[in-house]
Amino acid sequence: MNSLEANIRNNSTKGQLNAIRKNGNVPAIIYGGKDENQKIFISKKILKTFIEKENFLSSIITLNIDGKTQNVLPREVKFHILSDEPTHVDFLRISPGVKIKIEVPVNFINHDKSPGLKRGGVLNIVRRKVELKCPSEKIPKNLTLDLDGVDIGASFKISSVKLDTDVIPTIQGRDFVIATLAAPTVMKEPEKPAETEGEAAEGAEGAEAAASPDGDKSATEGDKKEGEESKSSDKKPAEKKPAEEKK
């Protein structure tokens, strides 16, 4: 379990809050349970190392406050709009046996042992976190899904995850999908536009001309021959003069 040093603060004005921040600390508050809300501050430098962890908002943290320990759950972190530095943290006091709602991250293992991924399949993650209702002392760090032997077309549903009997998803009544292993996406080439009748005819004439390089020459000679035949047919045969009778 993670541990964090904290100190009690008794500020009542904005100026006092700003002074805490200028000294490299972050104001925070602990609420929940039967005890009253408690105002504290923690080191910003150490807090940032905790925030950088993926499951910060789903991990129980032990706060050491003036020699006493208190288990808490981070519920909200506020950041400066420009610098993106943490400016305030809300902690929920953890009491044994009390059930809380919490989002738990999903973790996938054995990517290299999945035949579907080796064949180019794509892991589509539908839910990176799943909201659970569970006792504060039984909060899982993450939900682990094993990709060993998983092929294309397989899907992971909430029923695929092993949970304690006291740990239940807040979504009830359906076996919702967490992730699927889909086939690789293939880009289709655009279809060739259909030719019009005119374009088809021009293409056919061009193909004939290409197939017969002497086609124009042959046609010209044919036309010329036909013209000559026509011209010679128009001429009348010369009439023979009758032989003169012998006197």
Three-state SS string over 152-170 comes to CCCEEEHHHCCCCCCCEEC
Closest CA to 61 of 71, 47, 75: 71
What pLDDT score does 177 carry? Answer: 96
Closest CA to 126 of 150, 158, 170: 158
Distances (CA, A) of 201 to 191, 206, 217, 244: 21, 9, 22, 67
What pLDDT score does 217 carry? Answer: 47
Class of domain 100-182: mainly beta
Distance separating alpha carbons of residues 247 and 245, to the nearest angstrom: 6
Instruction: Cite the residue boundaries of each domain of the chain with CATH code 2.40.240.10.
Output: 2-94
- Whether the CB-CB separation of 92 and 100 falls below 8 Å is answered with yes
Neighbours of 111 (CB within 10 A): 12
pLDDT in tens, the chain (247 residues): 588 999 999 887 889 999 999 999 999 999 987 888 999 999 999 999 999 887 788 888 999 998 899 999 999 999 999 999 999 999 999 887 788 889 999 999 999 999 999 999 999 999 999 999 998 888 888 899 999 999 999 999 999 898 988 899 999 999 999 999 999 876 455 666 665 555 555 555 555 555 554 544 444 454 544 445 444 444 444 554 444 444 4
In CATH, which superfamily holds the domain spanning 2-94?
Ribosomal Protein L25; Chain P (2.40.240.10)
Closest CA to 79 of 103, 47, 40, 55: 47
Encoded tokens for 14? 């904005």
Distance separating alpha carbons of residues 131 and 150, to the nearest angstrom: 25
What pLDDT score does 67 carry? Answer: 85
- Whether the CB-CB separation of 176 and 156 falls below 8 Å is answered with no
What does pTM read for this prediction?
0.62
